[in-house]
């Protein structure tokens, strides 16, 4: 898995998503764009990908598309329309794009495909560090993290969100 981060100026959302979809189709990779304000860290998306792949392998996935299944796990919810809030939208946005070759691709071929897809995605973005630069209030509101819940944990907000990702299977 590779993560590509940067700023996107999205004037036409459909055109941007078509380009991302084309990159995925041409490289054989899942390419899923996220609004970086909702992504707490790399581990958030790594765990979402691992759990989405496990659900697909078991035939327990909700979405037919691997990228959408990853989005569901990253969002910690099973409602596709609500999970898509974490996706990109029109305007100037900080984004992080997950690029992952499928499980059937191994070794050097996997790395080559992911590198090719990541390079093409990088061309769509202005360079910027966006991963981990999440909006705490936005994240708390989106994931419904209360003051009491945050106070009850020994961890950080990022820890709570990663736990939400992991617990999605329990709530199915």
The pLDDT assigned to 171 comes to 56
Over 90: is that where the pLDDT of 4 sits? yes
pLDDT in tens, 61-97: 999 999 999 999 999 999 999 999 999 999 999 999 9
The structure's pTM equals: 0.93
Q: How confident is the model at residue 154 (pLDDT cuts 50, 70, 90)?
A: confident
Which residue would you say has higher pLDDT here, 30 or 133? 30
| Helix (H) or strand (E) run with residue 118 in it | helix 107-122
Say if CB 121 and CB 20 are below 8 A apart.
Answer: yes
Mean pLDDT, residues 35-58 taken together: 96
What is the average pLDDT score of the chain? 93
User: Is the pLDDT reported for residue 98 higher than 90?
Assistant: yes
Q: Quickly state the pLDDT bin for 11 (edges 50, 70, 90).
A: very high
Per-residue pLDDT, 8: 97
Local confidence band at 57 (pLDDT 50, 70, 90 cut-offs): very high
Q: Tell me the mean pLDDT in the region 27-51.
A: 97
Assess whether pLDDT exceeds 90 at residue 168.
no
- Give dist(CA 4, CA 52) in Å, integer: 19
CATH topology of domain 2-167: PF0523-like (3.30.2380)
Q: Are 111 and 28 in contact (CB under 8 A)?
A: no
What is residue 170's predicted lDDT score, i.e. its pLDDT?
A: 55
Asked if residue 121 lies in contact with residue 99, where contact means CB atoms within 8 angstroms, the answer is yes
**Nearest residue to 16 (alpha-carbon basis) of 84, 71, 87:** 87
> Rounded to an integer, what distance in angstroms lies between the CA atom of residue 22 and that of residue 24?
5
């Amino acid at each position: 898995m590779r993560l590509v981060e940067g700023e996107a100026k999205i004037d036409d959302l459909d055109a941007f998503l078509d380009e991302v979809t084309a990159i995925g189709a041409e490289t054989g990779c899942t390419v899923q764009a996220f609004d970086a304000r909702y992504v707490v860290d790399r581990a958030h998306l790594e765990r979402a990908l691992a759990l989405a792949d496990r659900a697909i392998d078991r035939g327990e996935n909700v979405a037919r598309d691997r990228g959408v299944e990853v989005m569901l796990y990253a969002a910690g919810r099973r409602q596709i329309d609500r999970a898509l809030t974490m996706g990109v939208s029109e305007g100037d946005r900080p984004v992080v794009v997950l690029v992952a070759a499928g499980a059937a691709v191994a070794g050097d071929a996997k790395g080559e495909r992911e590198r090719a897809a990541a390079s093409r995605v990088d061309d769509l973005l202005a360079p910027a560090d966006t991963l981990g630069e999440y909006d705490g209030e936005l994240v708390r509101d989106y994931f419904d993290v209360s003051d009491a819940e945050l106070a009850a944990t020994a961890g950080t907000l990022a820890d709570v969100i990663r736990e939400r990702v992991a617990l999605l299977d329990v709530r199915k």
